[in-house]
């Protein structure tokens, strides 16, 4: 094992760097060629991912250990959620190891077909005899060993499709109707299916990914801001004409009002209490009070609140720094791919960076009361089989892009 790690280190160190930090651009890149086996890869990136997964496993156990006392889960062992999360991690890591072996040229070639398959799954999950209902939302397709959430897959496939679309429309990206309108229709159709579940949080993330890739792909700035305005207005109209969502906004604006504190703002108020109890260094791992049936969804959407209560400001700060580093590193790999004339790979990776950064920001904002409550998990940390699986698949693609970048910079082929 030590010899293997030493060999990987030698491969990593042999990747040449251009003078002054500039990245060499290679001509005549054969994107259809069969890529070599994975060799050099970003070891710090993989280390941070594994660190977050391990920390999430510990915190999911801490946040869920008392849930078997609840009447809803009194038939489950204290380790029920831990074992299921560990099982999801195992599946995710196996699938990620398989995905990292697949050349990026394969995903570019089949991006449109994969996105179409995702839309089919988003339709199927709405069928009463197929989709599973949890908390009044029909978002899951039972697969026996786990429940699969197509909206998580959609976050990755929209990044792939948008990147492929921008490559195909590169010559007309200054023309609104030719370059932007078809993409808007695709996002709108996806959003309509997600709102039927309903899953507005996923729709916000998917729209952000698509818009970000359009912007990074070079769409005319005025057109971009016009589309952004239209999307923001659409969300405003949806909220205005939906009593439940409007109530959530009002509760978010005044969570301590007696009208909302025991209703729509219940999660938010107890999340804020958890952070308040944590202070600088927390109450100690496992010592949270709010997870004892006060804070709903403590192991999923509000895991950060448990971290804040048990590990304090110090623990939350470390998590923020790790996610900032992770997102920044993903964007650096994407920019490197574009500099190497691999536009699809670069835009897709940056789409994954937008996904990780935006969802992390939204989840943390919700936990801290900066944003209205949304059903979004904290990537890599929160409990959730589909979310963990798709996070790992997306990051495996990022690692693959980085490896192919290194191969090109050594004089090989991607």
Exposure string (b/e) for 6-17, b if CB count within 10 Å is 16 or more? Answer: eeeeeeeeebee
Exposure string (b/e) for 301-331, b if CB count within 10 Å is 16 or more? Answer: bbbbbbbbbbbbeebbeebeebbeebbebbb
Domain ranges of the chain: 35-101+242-414, 105-226
pLDDT of residue 227: 75
Structure tokens at 303: 């895991």
Percent of the chain with pLDDT over 70: 87
pLDDT of residue 62: 95
pLDDT of residue 104: 97
pLDDT of residue 335: 96
Distance (Å, whole) CA 123 – CA 125: 6
* Residue 330 confidence (pLDDT) above 80: yes
Are 201 and 362 contacting, i.e. CB atoms less than 8 angstroms apart?
A: yes
| Residue from 322, 308, 271, 388 nearest 62 by CA | 308
* Residue 1 confidence (pLDDT) above 50: no
Q: What is the mean pLDDT of the chain?
A: 86
pLDDT of residue 69: 80
Radius of gyration over alpha carbons of the chain, in Å?
Answer: 22
**What mean pLDDT is predicted for residues 63-81?**
84
* Residue 23 confidence (pLDDT) above 60: no
Distance (Å, whole) CA 226 – CA 30: 37
Q: Left if phi > 0, otherwise alpha if psi is -120 to 50, otherwise beta: which for 254?
A: beta
Distance (Å, whole) CA 289 – CA 245: 29
Query: pTM value?
Result: 0.87
pLDDT per residue as tens digits for the range 225-276: 777 787 888 888 888 887 778 888 888 888 888 888 888 889 999 999 999 9
* Residue 85 confidence (pLDDT) above 90: yes
pLDDT per residue as tens digits for the range 337-370: 999 999 999 999 999 999 999 999 999 999 999 9
pLDDT band at 6, cuts 50/70/90?
very low
Beta partners for 148?
141
Number of Cβ atoms within 10 Å of the Cβ of 62: 22
By three-state DSSP, how is residue 30 classified? coil
Distance (Å, whole) CA 11 – CA 18: 17
């Amino acid at each position: 094992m030590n010899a293997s790690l030493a060999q990987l280190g030698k491969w990593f160190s042999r990747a040449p760097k251009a003078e002054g930090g500039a990245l060499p651009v290679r001509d005549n890149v054969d994107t259809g060629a069969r890529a070599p086996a994975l060799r050099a890869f970003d070891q710090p990136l993989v280390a941070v991912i594994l660190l977050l997964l391990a920390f999430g496993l510990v915190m999911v156990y801490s946040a869920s250990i008392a849930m078997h006392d609840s009447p809803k889960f009194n038939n489950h062992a204290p380790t029920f959620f831990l074992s299921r999360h560990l099982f999801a991690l195992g599946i995710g890591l196996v699938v990620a190891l398989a995905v990292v072996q697949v050349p990026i040229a394969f995903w570019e070639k089949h991006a449109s077909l994969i996105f179409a398959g995702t839309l089919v799954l988003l339709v199927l999950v709405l069928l009463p005899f197929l989709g599973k209902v949890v908390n009044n939302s029909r978002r899951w397709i039972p697969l026996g060993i786990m429940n699969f959430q197509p909206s998580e897959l959609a976050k990755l496939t929209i990044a792939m499709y948008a990147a492929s679309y921008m490559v195909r429309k590169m010559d007309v990206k200054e023309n609104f109707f030719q370059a932007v309108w078809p993409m808007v229709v695709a996002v709108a159709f996806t959003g309509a299916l997600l709102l039927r579940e309903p899953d507005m949080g996923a729709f916000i993330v998917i729209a952000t990914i698509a818009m970000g890739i359009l912007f990074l792909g070079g769409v005319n700035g005025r057109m971009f801001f016009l589309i952004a305005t239209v999307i923001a207005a659409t969300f405003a109209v949806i909220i205005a004409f939906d009593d439940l969502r409007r109530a959530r906004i009002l509760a978010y604006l005044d969570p301590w009002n007696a009208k909302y504190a025991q209703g729509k703002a219940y999660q938010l108020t107890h999340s804020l209490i958890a952070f308040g109890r944590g202070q600088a260094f927390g109450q100690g791992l496992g010592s949270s009070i709010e997870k004892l049936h006060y804070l709903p969804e403590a192991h999923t959407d509000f895991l950060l609140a448990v971290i804040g209560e048990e590990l304090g400001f110090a623990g939350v700060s470390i998590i923020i720094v790790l996610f900032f580093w992770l997102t920044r590193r993903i964007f650096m790999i994407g920019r490197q791919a574009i500099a190497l004339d691999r536009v699809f790979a670069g835009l897709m990776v940056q789409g994954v960076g937008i996904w990780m950064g935006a969802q992390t920001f939204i989840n943390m904002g919700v936990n801290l009361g900066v944003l209205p409550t949304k059903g979004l998990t904290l990537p890599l940390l929160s409990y959730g089989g589909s979310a963990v699986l798709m996070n790992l698949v997306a990051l495996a693609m990022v690692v693959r892009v980085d490896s192919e970048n290194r191969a090109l910079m050594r004089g090989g082929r991607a």
